[in-house]
């Protein structure tokens, strides 16, 4: 195990709306994040991990975004975009397995027309839950 970073922020999507809520801690099982509206929808896309690098890139191009605006569940201070399907991260009690790169969502162009192109390869990565448990802000991240 190699320590590669830590959790900056955690977010869940609220059922019945596009509203997102920042959390201090959340629980995960193999179906995803228990209180997230996408729980048990698509286990290959259970958790979206985004790096603060994405926000810095947007800011460097004069696009100001609050954390959570990219739809992430977990914002980290480590750039995971080089990881490939099958790679694993340990965060808190949870083991996550990278399943795929995040595809661009139409809503990003509602924020700024240049954002989808700018973040094409730097928006986030999806993971599925291997070992259930809790993740909290400030948890260390380990590459397994």
pTM for this structure?
0.93
Residue 52 vs residues 6, 42, 57, 80, 141: alpha-carbon distances, Å: 11, 25, 9, 10, 14
16 — pLDDT class (breaks 50, 70, 90): confident
**Does residue 50 fall inside a structural domain?**
yes
**Mean pLDDT score, 67-85:** 94
Per the structure, the count of domains in the chain is 1
Is position 70 within any domain? yes
Structural domain contains residue 36: yes
Instruction: Establish how many alpha carbons lie within 13 A of residue 95's alpha carbon, considering only the half-sphere containing its beta carbon.
Output: 7
Question: Whole domain around residue 139: which residue ranges?
Answer: 2-14+27-143
Q: Output the pLDDT for position 106.
A: 65
What percent of the chain is modeled with pLDDT above 90?
73
In a domain, 20, yes or no: no
Please check whether residue 85 lies inside any domain of the structure. yes
Could you tell me whether strands 74-76 and 47-51 are parallel, antiparallel, or unpaired per DSSP bridges? parallel
Burial per residue of 27-45, b for 16 or more beta-carbon CB atoms within 10 angstroms, e otherwise:
ebeebbbeebbbbeeeeeb
108 inside domain: yes
pLDDT 10s digits, 77-124: 999 989 999 999 999 999 999 998 887 666 777 788 888 888 887 889
Query: Would 21 be classed as within a structural domain?
Result: no
Q: Closest Cα partner for 138 from 24, 7, 22?
A: 7
The dihedral through the CA atoms of 63, 100, 13, 96 has a sign that is negative
CB atoms within 10 A of CB 15: 11
Does residue 66 sit within a domain? yes
Residue 28 has pLDDT above 80, yes or no: yes
Residue 133's CATH number: 2.40.33.20
């Amino acid at each position: 195990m190699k320590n590669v970073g830590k959790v900056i922020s955690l977010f869940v999507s609220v059922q019945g709306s596009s509203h997102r809520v920042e959390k201090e801690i959340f629980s995960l099982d193999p179906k995803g994040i228990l209180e997230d509206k996408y729980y048990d929808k698509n286990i290959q896309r259970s958790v979206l991990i985004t790096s603060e690098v994405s926000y810095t890139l947007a800011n460097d191009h004069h696009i100001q975004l609050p954390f959570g605006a990219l739809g992430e569940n977990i914002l980290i201070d480590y750039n995971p975009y080089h990881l490939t399907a099958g790679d694993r991260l340990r965060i808190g009690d949870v083991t996550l397995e990278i399943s795929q790169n995040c595809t661009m969502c139409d809503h990003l162009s509602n924020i700024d027309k240049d954002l989808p192109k700018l973040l094409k390869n730097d928006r986030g990565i999806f993971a599925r839950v291997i070992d259930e448990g809790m993740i909290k802000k400030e948890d260390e991240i380990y590459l397994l």
